[in-house]
Amino acid sequence: MTDSKKPDLKRRNLMVGAAIGTGALLSMNSVQANERRPGPGSSAVGTRADTESVERLPFGGVVSFTPLHELHGTITPSDLHFERHHGGIPRLDPTQHELVIHGMVAQPLKFTLGDLKRFPSVTRTCFIECSGNYVTRFGNQSTPQITCGLTSQSEWTGVPLATLLHQAGVKDKATWLLAEGGDAPLLSRSIPMAKALDDALVVYAQNGEAIRPEQGYPFRLLLPGWEGNTSVKWLRRIAVSDAPFMTREETSKYTDKLADGNYRQFSFTMDARSIITYPTYPATIEPGMHEIRGLAWSGRGRIIAVEVSTNGGQSWQKATLQGPVLDKAHTRFNLPWRWNGKATEIQSRAIDETGYVQPTLKQLQAVRATTSTNYHFNPIVGWHIKADGSIEMTETG
């Protein structure tokens, strides 16, 4: 924020005093150095401090990136959760919108938001990440927001999908289901029954209040640890079947090219990733103590370690993980670091409970047969600290 835009806090308080009638009796020279006035009173809905500004970065109307480098802890404020949609945000009437479950079930059923809220509820914290994360970058002038801001974390509340499927009575031969949204393009994905019965939820609340429209209001599917596209928003229909439906989003899109020329399909799980959120572009730092901070997560379970290098990947040391370390959830890591004022590069790499170690960009490019990037690119990201304290993003070899 520039100085000219800085609000004059002292003046604002004087004006509030005048507004409630007491100010009129006071002349300016009767104000003592330590004299204070009451601030504004209570309100129905709070706002951010007017000296703070933190925003998503919207792009082309179909995507919006979470400002990871401007946030703390592990929960993403709901209005800063990343967005990705394929036909805009529908405005659905919660009294009319229904979820229909049909196909290979004993009894086809439909549920309104009110019906879903009457089921025993489950609350869990997990990330949702778009498998296109890292594909968009602005070269060395990339922030953690543009590089990695297609991941966000919320505390979600809803009903296990298994409970709803049990109500309808899934037939023995059923192995897949189609999840379909109520947005303009009726986005749809095939989901294996095993995941539906494991930890899938139909959620109607995010961070303690109704889900935001851009996150699927009145309710969405939530598949913890899986690519965000499968957590179908504005859920309107689940068709139970014995085979995948081969929708456009799992054939033309969201498939991964391999070194042998084939394409990997139904690559649902998000592999482990980490990103340093401070110090990074566009910050400039002074020599001395800094806390290297970041986030790490894995779609396969818990993060067991994050290693940080302060010499461009030549040696690594373990960062501290801030507990509780949750399953399939953003985990905060920290490492105190004294910068000696010499140019260097800092990097982080996540290790999850399966023993997977986050790869470099070159390693991924080798197994995915590309010189660029694609879905499911989760490379180590480097931050080049220049001698003048300015910082640039670097890609890892």
Partner 1 sequence: MRLFTCLLVLAMPILAEDTSRYDLGHEATSEDIANIDIDVMPDGRGLPPGEGTVTNGEAVYQQQCAACHGVSGEGGPNDALVSTPANAGKKTIGSHWPYATTVFDYIRRSMPYDRPGSLSDNDVYALTSYLLYRNQLIARDVTLDADSLHRIEMPARALFVPDDRKGGMPIK
Chain residues 189-248 in contact with ligand HEC, contact rule CB under 6 A: 248
Cis peptide before 279 (omega within 30 of 0): yes
Question: What is d(CA 226, CA 385) in angstroms, rounded to the nearest whole number?
Answer: 34
**118 near partner 1, judged by CB under 8 A:** yes
Identity of residue 184? A
**252 near ligand HEC, judged by CB under 6 A:** yes
Question: What is d(CA 237, CA 251) in angstroms, rounded to the nearest whole number?
Answer: 20
**180 near partner 1, judged by CB under 8 A:** yes
| Min dist. Cβ of residue 107 to partner 1 (A) | 7
Contacting residue, 26, 122, 357, 369, with partner 1 by CB under 8 A: 357
| Min dist. Cβ of residue 166 to partner 1 (A) | 6
**395 near partner 1, judged by CB under 8 A:** no
**Residues 268, 359, 336, 69, Cα dihedral to 10°:** -50
**100 near partner 1, judged by CB under 8 A:** yes
**115 near partner 1, judged by CB under 8 A:** yes
**Residues 2, 5, 6, 10, Cα dihedral to 10°:** 150
Contacting residue, 86, 117, 137, 300, with ligand HEC by CB under 6 A: 86
DSSP of 142-198: --HHHHH-SEEEEEEEEEEHHHHHHHH-B-TT--EEEEEE-STT--EEEEEHHHHHH
Question: What is d(CA 150, CA 85) in angstroms, rounded to the nearest whole number?
Answer: 12
Question: What is d(CA 180, CA 159) in angstroms, rounded to the nearest whole number?
Answer: 17
| Min dist. Cβ of residue 349 to partner 1 (A) | 12
**186 near partner 1, judged by CB under 8 A:** yes
Interacting residues toward ligand HEC by CB under 6 A: 86, 248, 252-253
Interacting residues toward partner 1 by CB under 8 A: 86-87, 100-102, 107-111, 115, 118-119, 163-164, 166-167, 178, 180, 184-188, 236-237, 239, 241, 243, 245-248, 251-252, 255, 258, 261-269, 271, 300-301, 352, 354-357, 359, 363-364, 367
